[in-house]
């Protein structure tokens, strides 16, 4: 286990201890004094249209860091990438690092989370010849960072960059990319995972003015949906009754959290919005934990599918676990929280009793327990 991963687990343990102290279902951030060495990287570099909120977001995150015990590096250099959007990008020359921080996974390991703040790069055409936000070497550094347990946050147009990298698209959007948006207007966001740290204190129904993105596909199933948009409350939505707008996931060893709102500058002076983003960052870094930690049924199914089937016991374990998890997922989809919880408790017991490899059994049982915590949170909120 790397030093960075060990530190991440230590922070998660501290968060769990804090949760126990303040009561079931509540997740507390570690006090600033417990993590003074935390550091995040804010990426605002653009090679395409530049959102005005990038500067506001950067300064808001710097202020949050001063209040919550982390420092902020910024990668947002000026450049001459002119196009239909104007004459290049002014960047943030007074804040930006002198050169790319994406040099190697080892160099990126200093960061507890990397925040991509609408770094549009004009690769929507899917033309591989169009320069990407991250070149091959920089992308390889990011991949190594994530595989070592790194955290990544995507804000607003983080789904509108690196379109020609399927890996980055899966990291940020679970395969979903920016497809377009109607004019800015008021819409209602609905919380889908109220026990997750980033959703605590967020209204279950939140009416806000913003720029609402449509995506190339619905990422549900590959990500843990945190909030959806109610398309009946505004005009121009194209995704139907199920329109995810915020989500998170455990991804290839790391953690990813995404919020599709945040286009309007006013978002970055809104205490509720800022606290939500702060806790998203803290969750990706391992500084807070709970609410099911963004586990999905698909993630757990993948663990079961990876179990050995060499012996009769192995095959029975896989069969029984698959049946119980499928039944739990169907109950969850039907809104039957009690039914889902009954089946998940059986699945957790089966993982411990039937999976021969103790390490695999512990990991699987822990993930099923996360599913249980998620469903308990939904039941407690009446969802």
At which residue do the structure tokens 């980033």 appear? 198
Pick the closest to residue 303 from 318, 285, 284 (CA basis): 318
State pTM to two decimals.
0.90
pLDDT digits (tens, 9 = 90+) for 221-237: 899 999 999 999 999 99
pLDDT at 36: 52
Give how far Cα 61 sits from Cα of 66, 84, 101, 149, Å.
9, 30, 18, 22
The pLDDT tens digits of the residues spanning 183-220 come to: 999 999 999 999 999 999 999 999 999 999 999 999 99
For 93-125, how does the pLDDT look when each residue is reduced to its tens digit (9 = 90+)?
999 999 999 999 999 999 999 999 999 999 999
pLDDT at 180 exceeding the cut of 50: yes
| Average pLDDT of span 29-46 | 71
Quick one: what percent of the chain has pLDDT higher than 90?
Answer: 89
The DSSP bridge pattern shows strands 113-117 and 151-155 to be parallel
CATH architecture of 3-285: 3-Layer(aba) Sandwich (3.40)
261-276: per-residue pLDDT in tens?
Answer: 999 999 999 999 999 9
Q: Give me the residue spans of the domains in the chain.
A: 3-285, 297-380
Ordered DSSP codes for 343-366: HHHHHHHHHHHH-SSHHHHHHHHH
The 10s digit of each residue's pLDDT in 274-306 is 999 999 999 999 999 999 999 999 999 999 999
- What pLDDT sits at residue 7? 37
User: How far is 161 from 135, CA to CA, in rounded Å?
Assistant: 12
Express each pLDDT in 141-170 by its tens digit: 999 999 999 999 999 999 999 999 999 999
Q: Is the pLDDT of residue 69 over 50?
A: yes
């Amino acid at each position: 286990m790397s030093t960075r991963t060990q530190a991440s687990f230590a922070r998660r343990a501290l968060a769990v201890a804090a949760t126990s102290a303040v009561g079931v279902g509540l997740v507390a951030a570690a006090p600033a004094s417990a993590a003074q060495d935390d550091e995040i990287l804010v990426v605002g570099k653009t090679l395409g249209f530049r959102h005005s909120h990038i500067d506001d977001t950067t300064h808001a995150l710097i202020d949050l860091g001063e209040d919550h015990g982390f420092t902020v590096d910024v990668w947002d250099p000026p450049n001459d990438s002119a196009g239909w959007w104007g004459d290049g990008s002014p960047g943030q020359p007074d804040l930006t690092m002198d050169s790319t921080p994406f040099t190697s996974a080892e160099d990126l390991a200093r960061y507890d989370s990397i925040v991509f703040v609408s770094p549009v790069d004009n690769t929507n055409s899917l033309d591989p010849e169009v320069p990407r936000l991250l070149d091959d070497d920089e992308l390889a550094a990011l991949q190594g960072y994530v595989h070592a347990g790194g955290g990544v946050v995507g804000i607003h147009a983080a789904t509108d960059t690196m379109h020609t990298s399927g890996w980055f698209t899966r990291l940020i959007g679970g395969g979903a990319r920016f497809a377009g948006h109607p004019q800015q207007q008021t819409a209602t966001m609905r919380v889908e995972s109220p026990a997750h740290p980033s959703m605590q204190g967020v209204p279950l129904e939140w009416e806000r003015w913003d720029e609402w993105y449509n995506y190339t596909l619905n990422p549900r199933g590959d990500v843990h949906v945190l909030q959806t948009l109610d398309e009946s409350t505004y005009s121009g939505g194209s995704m139907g009754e199920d329109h995810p707008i915020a989500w998170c996931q455990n991804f290839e060893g790391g953690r990813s959290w995404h919020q599709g709102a945040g286009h309007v500058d006013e978002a970055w002076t809104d205490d509720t919005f800022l606290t939500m983003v702060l806790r998203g960052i803290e969750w990706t870094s391992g500084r807070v934990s709970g609410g099911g930690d963004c586990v999905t049924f698909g993630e757990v199914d993948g663990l079961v599918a990876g179990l050995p089937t060499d012996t009769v016991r192995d095959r029975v374990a896989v069969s029984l676990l698959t049946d119980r998890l499928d039944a739990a997922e169907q109950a969850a989809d039907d809104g039957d929280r009690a039914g889902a919880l009954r089946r998940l408790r059986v699945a957790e017991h089966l993982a411990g009793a039937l999976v021969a490899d103790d390490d695999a059994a512990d990991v699987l049982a822990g993930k099923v327990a996360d599913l249980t915590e998620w469903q308990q949170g939904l039941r407690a909120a009446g969802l």
